[in-house]
Amino acid sequence: MLWLDLGNTRLKYWLTDDVGQIVAHHAKQHLQAPAELLMGLTDRFERYAPDFIGISSVLGEELNLKVAETLGRLNIPFDFVHVDAAHPLMHSNYDANQLGCDRWLQMLGAVDKKKRQCVVGCGTAVTIDLIDHAQHLGGYIFPSIYLQRESLFSGTKQITISNGAFDSITQGTTTQDAVHHGILLSIVGAINEITHRHPNFELIMTGGDAEIIAQHVNRPVRLRDDLMLNGLARYFDNSQNKLVG
């Protein structure tokens, strides 16, 4: 199986064998031209000769049509994920038309009907979702630490872009540190507040900034870097009866 994740800024893919083990993977910025990037990868995908291509995309119908046209030249069966609020693995109180498939697949990759879970995705946006025994209760969306920094720099005249680090939530003694520590604190504080209100929920974090944020959260965190892949496999295993491990 070949799994594609077309995010806001990156294209990621995984090739898995018959038991679900990853045998190849890659991630690359697509610069809002995913079809063109895929065109350059089609020879590689053809060599892989997968039985099926499963696709998660947040890029919208117009770009998805271009992606479908590109993949159609491979003569390999493929399909896109469609959010299903009544999915057998997890029901959702959220409006399915407004729930991004990447966010939904992260939850689908983590969901356990025996548990209460808080799933935090740390990507281009920070998403926090609450799941009670496979019932998605809803959640929150925040700009990422980098989007917050860009917004602050573009909206003020006295603060300029710097090379500061998101490495602490202690008070800063320079403007550079105050900005970076303050932004990180805003995300960490939100997670701490939500988990304080839901103390019996397992806290799971995933995404590129998960390690940066998790080390400052005041309760145990389970880091997962496989949620998107696991969610894709679970989705197509249920929707098309394809065994992927």
Q: What are the catalytic residues?
A: 102
Burial label, 42 (beta-carbon count in 10 A; 0-12, 13-18, 19+): middle
Q: How far apart are the first and last CA of the chain?
A: 11
* Exposure b/e, 202-223, CB count within 10 A at least 16 = b: bbbbbbebbebbbebbeeebee
Running DSSP on this structure, what letter comes out for residue 172?
A: P
CA–CA distance, 185 with 182 (Å, rounded to integer): 5
CA–CA distance, 181 with 132 (Å, rounded to integer): 32
Bridge partners for 121 per DSSP: 127, 206
Quick check: 76 and 53 in contact, CB under 8 A? yes
61-to-42, 66, 158 alpha-carbon distances in Å: 21, 9, 40
Paired tokens of 15: 């090739």
Running DSSP on this structure, what letter comes out for residue 113?
A: T
